[in-house]
């Protein structure tokens, strides 16, 4: 199943709710696997512990840390390792760990696997996809806030991961829907996807939300921004060598974009400007050197 709700509609909690339903209502105590980006695994652990009674274990870190988890959190004491009984209910790990520890993880008969940011599986030849396909998973759920793009090969890759027996031939899939040249082809593709994808938008969930409005406000650069902008634009190496010695000049446009947001985004500028300044002075400089920061400061006060 693909859960493709817009960002902010609680895909994480919905995924956890499925595991909690299996745990409480169906008396299925796992093992469950959650694969998520490194930046969100602690959030998954926190939400599972807040909303459920399941034992969630975080499996990441260096080899010593992983071995410690395997030794103390994997099995109950005096329980044979081939018993199929695990101490954890939910194991939360990252994409790199699924490949580095595939020998341990692929040997477990997972009852339910949740893949956060499931769009990462769009490449059928990637090492991540080839590794996860070897996992023994009874049910799979992909979470993605990004709607599926118009690349049918990538779409087939995700469907193949979910149901490899049903979607076993990419050539047949592309020959049937590859061009999407006719209304009939589009309709048949929608009918094919309907049982496999659930997507809600904020407009469907909350009808009282007013239509989105955008206001564009033009701001002048501060004196500091203008000074660095001109130096980078004109490739003033004497100035940059003195006041931004670590600035990367390989991509001028990127550096100019950084300056327009905040000069401190250019490496070395913050050290140059804030040298020998107190913490209070640094905070004031942080605010006053960017026109966007000055505007946001006024806006937030209002």
- Helix H, strand E, coil C: the string for the chain is CEECCCCCCCHHHHHHHHHHHHHHCCCCCCCEEEEECCCCHHHHHHHHHHHCCCCEEEECCCHHHHHHHHHHCCCCCCCCCCCCCCCCCEEEEEHHHHHHCHHHHCCCCEEEEEEECHHHHCCCCCHHHHHHCCCCEEEEEEECCCCCCCCHHHHHHHHHHHCCCCCCCHHHHHHHHCCCCCHHHHHHHHHHHCCCEECCCHHHHCCCCCCCCCCCCCCCCCHHHHHHHHHHHCCCHHHHHHHCCCCCCCCHHHHHHHHHHCHHHCCCHHHHHCCCCCHHHHHHHHHHCCHHHHHHHHHHHC
Q: 181-185, 237-241, 279-283 — which is least confidently predicted?
A: 181-185
Work out the percent of the chain whose per-residue pLDDT is above 70: 95
Instruction: Write the CB contacts of 208 (distance below 8 Å, at least 6 apart in sequence).
Output: none
Pair 107, 49: CB distance under 8 Å: no
**Positive or negative: CA dihedral 151, 159, 135, 171:** negative
pLDDT tens for 109-121 read: 888 999 888 777 7
pTM: 0.65
* pLDDT tops 60 at residue 147: no
Query: Which of the residue ranges 111-115, 151-155, 217-221, 289-293 would you say has the lowest mean pLDDT?
Result: 151-155
- Residue 205 has a pLDDT of 75
The rounded distance, in Å, linking the Cα atoms of 263 and 242 is 15
pLDDT exceeds cutoff 80 at 79: no
User: Which CATH superfamily hosts domain 2-205?
Assistant: Tandem AAA-ATPase domain (3.40.50.10810)
Q: Please give the pLDDT value at position 139.
A: 87
What integer pLDDT is reported at residue 294 of this predicted model?
Answer: 92
**Cα–Cα distance for residue pair 169/157, rounded to 1 Å:** 10
Give residue-wise pLDDT tens across range 195-209.
778 888 777 777 776
pLDDT tier for residue 191 given thresholds of 50, 70 and 90 = confident
Q: What integer is the mean pLDDT of 259-277?
A: 85
Mean pLDDT of the chain: 83
- The full set of domain ranges for the chain reads 2-205, 223-301
pLDDT, residue 253, reads 87
Average pLDDT of span 11-24? 89
pLDDT of the residue at 149: 60
The band of 295, judged by pLDDT with boundaries at 50, 70 and 90, is very high
């Amino acid at each position: 199943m693909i859960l493709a709700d817009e960002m902010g509609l609680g895909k994480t909690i919905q995924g956890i709710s499925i595991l909690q339903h299996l745990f409480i209502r169906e008396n299925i105590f796992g093992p469950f696997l959650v694969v998520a980006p490194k930046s969100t695994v602690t959030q998954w652990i926190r939400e599972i512990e807040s909303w459920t009674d399941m034992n969630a274990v975080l499996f990441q870190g260096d080899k010593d840390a992983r071995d410690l988890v395997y030794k103390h959190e994997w099995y109950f004491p005096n329980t044979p390792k081939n018993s199929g009984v695990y101490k954890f209910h939910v194991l939360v790990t990252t994409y790199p760990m699924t490949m580095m520890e595939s020998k341990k993880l692929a040997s477990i008969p997972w009852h339910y696997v949740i893949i956060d940011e499931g769009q990462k599986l769009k490449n059928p030849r990637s090492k991540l996809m080839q590794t996860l396909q070897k996992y023994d998973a009874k049910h799979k759920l992909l979470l993605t806030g990004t709607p599926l793009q118009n690349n049918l090969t990538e779409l087939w890759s995700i469907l193949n991961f979910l149901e490899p027996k049903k979607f076993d031939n990419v050539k047949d899939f592309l020959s049937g829907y590859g061009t999407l040249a006719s209304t009939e082809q589009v309709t048949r593709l929608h009918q094919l996807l309907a049982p496999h994808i659930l997507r809600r938008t904020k407009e469907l969930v909350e009808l009282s939300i007013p239509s989105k409005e955008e206001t564009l406000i033009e701001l002048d650069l501060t004196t500091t921004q203008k000074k660095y902008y001109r130096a980078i634009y004109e490739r003033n190496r004497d100035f940059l060598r003195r006041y931004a010695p670590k600035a990367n000049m390989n991509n001028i446009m990127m550096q100019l974009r950084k300056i327009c947001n905040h000069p401190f985004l250019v490496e070395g500028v913050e050290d140059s400007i804030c040298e020998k300044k107190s913490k209070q002075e640094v905070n004031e400089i942080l605010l006053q050197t960017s026109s966007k920061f000055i505007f946001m400061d006024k806006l937030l006060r209002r």
